[in-house]
């Protein structure tokens, strides 16, 4: 079973490498592309992991028994407007193929949900998953997320459009 913890700026290089792998292997799963991120300096990745209280973004990592980062998921609180700042966003979820089916994905989702609850100001968490990624959608459903819509043509990869399933979960 992988160990789990919040990533810090010291994890920036490992986080960068894992996400670039994700963007390259599964481009339809992310709104960000490999080409958009590959040239960014390591400081960009470190800044995203910098501690703050409450941080607008937190990223959790799953580590294998050798201490390698094999999975990530983040919580972003993008809204500052009074009427919609009760919503968080689960983003950047990725588990390396070699680490799948060992509970890392579910533990990462749970860590994001716990971080959202701990903030005290969030009532729900939303996410998107590429339509047809049945294993990821099933994981989110097992974690209590429900579908509330499908966005057609949400992501365009090499001239081919992919829909995104929008899901949400009340923190309750």
CATH number at residue 59: 3.40.630.30
- pTM, entire model: 0.93
Report yes or no on 160 lying in a domain: no
Q: Does residue 2 surpass a pLDDT of 80?
A: no
The per-residue pLDDT for 85 is 86
Q: How far is CA 27 from CA 30, 97, 157, in A?
A: 6, 15, 7
Report yes or no on 87 lying in a domain: yes
The per-residue pLDDT for 127 is 97
Q: Does residue 55 surpass a pLDDT of 80?
A: no
The per-residue pLDDT for 22 is 96
Degrees to nearest 5, angle at CA 155 with 136 and 165:
40
The total of structural domains in the chain comes to: 1
Report yes or no on 143 lying in a domain: no
Report yes or no on 101 lying in a domain: yes
pLDDT band at 107; cut points 50, 70, 90: very high
Report yes or no on 88 lying in a domain: yes
Query: Which domain does 114 fall in, by range?
Result: 3-125
The per-residue pLDDT for 80 is 75
> Are 166 and 140 spatial neighbours (Cβ–Cβ below 8 Å)?
no
Report yes or no on 92 lying in a domain: yes
Query: Stretch 141-162: mean pLDDT, rounded?
Result: 96
For the beta sheet containing 57-63, the strands, ordered from the edge strand earlier in sequence to the opposite edge, are 3-6, 57-63, 69-76, 87-95, 124-130, 160-170, 146-157
């Amino acid at each position: 079973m992988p160990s789990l913890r919040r990533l810090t700026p010291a994890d920036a290089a490992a986080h960068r490498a894992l996400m670039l792998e994700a963007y390259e292997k599964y481009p339809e799963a992310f709104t960000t592309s490999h080409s958009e991120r590959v040239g960014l300096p390591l400081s960009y990745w470190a800044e995203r992991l910098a501690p703050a209280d409450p941080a607008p973004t937190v990223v959790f990592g799953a580590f294998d028994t050798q201490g390698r980062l094999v999975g990530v998921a983040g919580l972003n609180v993008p809204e500052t407007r009074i009427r919609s700042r009760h919503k968080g966003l689960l983003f950047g979820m990725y588990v390396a193929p070699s680490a799948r089916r060992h509970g890392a994905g579910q533990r990462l989702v749970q860590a994001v949900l716990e971080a959202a609850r701990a903030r005290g100001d969030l009532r729900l968490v939303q996410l998107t998953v590429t339509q047809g990624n049945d294993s990821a959608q099933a994981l989110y459903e097992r974690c209590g997320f429900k579908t509330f819509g499908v966005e057609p043509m949400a992501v365009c990869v090499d001239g081919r459009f992919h829909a995104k399933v929008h899901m949400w979960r009340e923190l309750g």
